[in-house]
Copies of this chain bind each other. A is one copy, B any other.
């Protein structure tokens, strides 16, 4: 029997349709493999990107030359432009604003064939620290309300370049998904005076069914009402609203768990294309009691039909309990 489930934060219902038994292999598609010819992000081609903003280098290594471990550069084809003041204007009942923002690329490793599933914990931690440092810097610009940190991995997930990279976009307005999470979690707070994500973590730790792994102050879990097969949330187990307030030790803990999760995802689904997106507090808030930062990871396993786009109503053929079991390495004998 299919089942309807409600996301406890934003109130979105999903259909978990278990009509046909599904094994992880049913969701596999072409694995993401890098070919790597003539790549603008590879060492030696530093002059083919905009100049680096920050990079991981030995102290004697000049900027924009080989020898780096990661680089952050401006996006050559930015969705938003850094120049200009914000100018909100109207057009009758419509509102518009000039597209002021920042759009940066984090080249995560010099190794074209690398990935979060193969990089060392230390190398992943460097990337996470680069996210943090860029957010702290972009926060100083009063025009920005939010920094979106995300990754598209594999062509099917929207990556136009295959060299491992992630992106930051600083925006003058809040993304609607963040607004919805803020509203939903504030409502929960007003009712219970507890953070909804803290409560979710507490409940998931007790039941264990949807916990994938936990270590170093972080937990990876399959959410109760996932939109997509193998959707995963990674959260700090202690309450924290803003990613950019994380210290080095915390980000090392996250790096270790993220690497391990990525290896399991890659093993279970054969190096799938995926996206991740950091959900963190808006830049202009402080110490939110009701918001809890988290990383959402979504493997791109199937075309999403128009039904989902048009309705906001997702049909997910993979129960999160089975997905978590597969990622924990358990054999699925249900199908």
Contact = CB atoms under 8 A, between A and B. Distances in A.
12 contacts: A2-B98, A3-B97, A6-B94, A17-B80, A19-B77, A93-B199, A94-B225, A158-B304, A275-B310, A277-B311, A298-B306, A298-B309
A94 B298 contact: no
Contacts of A155: 303
A178 interface: yes
Give the 8 A-B residue pairs with the shortest CB-CB distance, closest first: A275-B306, A277-B310, A158-B305, A2-B99, A177-B312, A175-B311, A176-B312, A4-B97
Interface stretch (A106-114, A135-143, A146-154): A146-154
A15 interface: yes
Chain A interface main SS type: mixed
A220 B55 CA distance: 50
Nearest to A178: B311
Given A304-B304, A310-B275, A4 B173 contact: yes
Interface string A1-41: 11111101011110111011000000000000000000000
Residue among A16, A158, A203 with the most chain B CB within 10 A?
A158
Copies of the protein in its oligomer: 2
A276 interface: yes
A99 B316 CA distance: 12
Nearest to A153: B306
A329 interface: no
Interface string A118-143: 00000000000000000000000000
A235 interface: no
A260 to B, nearest CB: 21
Given A2-B79, A157-B303, A309 B95 contact: no
A306 B158 contact: yes
User: For chain A, which range describes its interface: under 10, 10 to 19, 20 to 34, or 35 or more residues?
Assistant: 35 or more
Contacts of A98: 1-4
Nearest to A174: B13
Contacts of A313: 148, 171, 175-177
- Among A19, A178, A303, residue most surrounded by chain B Cβ atoms (within 10 Å): A303
A330 B159 CA distance: 32
Contact of A277 (B93, B150, B309): B309
B150 A307 contact: yes
Given A99-B1, A313-B148, A158 B274 contact: no
A176 B99 CA distance: 28
A16 B158 CA distance: 17
Interface in A149-195: 150-152, 155-159, 167, 169, 171-173, 175-180
B97 A2 contact: no
A117 interface: no
Contacts of A8: 93-95
B6 A305 contact: no
A81 interface: yes
A306 B79 contact: no
Interface string A275-310: 111010000000000000000101010011111011
Interface in A207-247: 207, 224-225, 227
